[in-house]
Amino acid sequence: MIAGIELGGTKTVVALAAADGSVLEECRFPTTLPDETLGFAIDWLKERGTPEAIGIGAFGPIGIVPGRANYGQILATPKPGWEGFSIIGALATAFPEARLALDTDVNAAALAEARHGAAKGLDDVVYITIGTGIGGGILTGGHLVHGALHPEFGHLKVPRFPTDEYPGICSFHKDCLEGLASGPAISQRWGVAAHELSADHPAWDLQAWYLAHGILSLLAIVSPSRVIVGGGVSQAAGLHEKINARLLEIAGGYFPTLQGQPFVVPPHFEQEAGIRGAFLLASL
């Protein structure tokens, strides 16, 4: 029995994997306090047997490099009760025989899309999600990128859209990418939620500008073959096309990997990328 846990900032998914890597059975519930959240997932799994392996995709910041003192531990976070909590500790106590594999929720999603989804068969893939925040995962040469902590794309600094004077909503940086282009930034700038804006609202030109600049930074740094943009805010009609057009413009003909294909694409799995990625982590 291979299990997966997707521990998101607002909701958690616990599931069992089918042989083909899809979801056999799952349960979705709100992420509350750590003992309660992990306790619920553990009980759900125990009712179904003893997993031989559990893959976990978790929100960050979190220690994801095995062997480091902070492995499996949630780091500085405004989320009440979570700072210092060890996810690996809780699961190892409940399932001492199970093989545990942890990564960020966005790295898990990147892995699922690269193995079976919108970037199937590619080894150099970036996954970005735009919702309450902006985050991302990276596969390079077939390896997930960790680094000293892990990627935090949302806090990239990008040039401003020429006429945009909105100060930005990030509590650390004001006008980083997340501060200018996350769901809450859109709501605060235009006074309505992203999903209420029509497809021809000027908001989407700004959105495409900021995302294209963030993706250009990714191109210049990790040179992906494809970039997947998902999350609630990405579902606006035509947004991926607008991002591709702006990206080609600002790239100025320099990056050959942009030619001849839609480079920025929507996810294949949408809701399921994280949990499918957790299954894959368990199988690595």
Return the residue matching tokens 């199970």: 98
Residue type, 185: A
Q: Which residues of 143-174 are buried (b: 16+ CB within 10 A; e: fewer)?
A: ebbbeeebbbbbbbebebbeeeebebbbeebe
Residue closer to a copy of itself, measured from CB, 77 or 187: 77
Distance of CA 229 to the CA centre of its chain: 9
Helix (H) / strand (E) element for 3: namely strand 2-7
Return the residue matching tokens 């919702």: 131
Residue closer to a copy of itself, measured from CB, 218 or 281: 218
CB of 52 to a copy of itself, least distance (A): 26
CB of 260 to a copy of itself, least distance (A): 12
Residue closer to a copy of itself, measured from CB, 224 or 277: 224
CB of 76 to a copy of itself, least distance (A): 7
CB of 96 to a copy of itself, least distance (A): 28
Residue pair 153/218 in contact by the 8 Å Cβ criterion: yes
**Distance from C-alpha of 72 to C-alpha of 110, rounded to nearest angstrom:** 19
Residue closer to a copy of itself, measured from CB, 187 or 225: 225
Residue closer to a copy of itself, measured from CB, 149 or 197: 149
CB of 173 to a copy of itself, least distance (A): 5
Residue 191 has phi, psi (to 5 degrees) of 80, 5
Residue pair 112/280 in contact by the 8 Å Cβ criterion: yes
Binding site for a copy of itself (CB under 8 A): 61, 65, 75-76, 124, 138, 140-141, 143, 145-160, 172-173, 213, 216-225, 250-257
Residue pair 218/224 in contact by the 8 Å Cβ criterion: yes
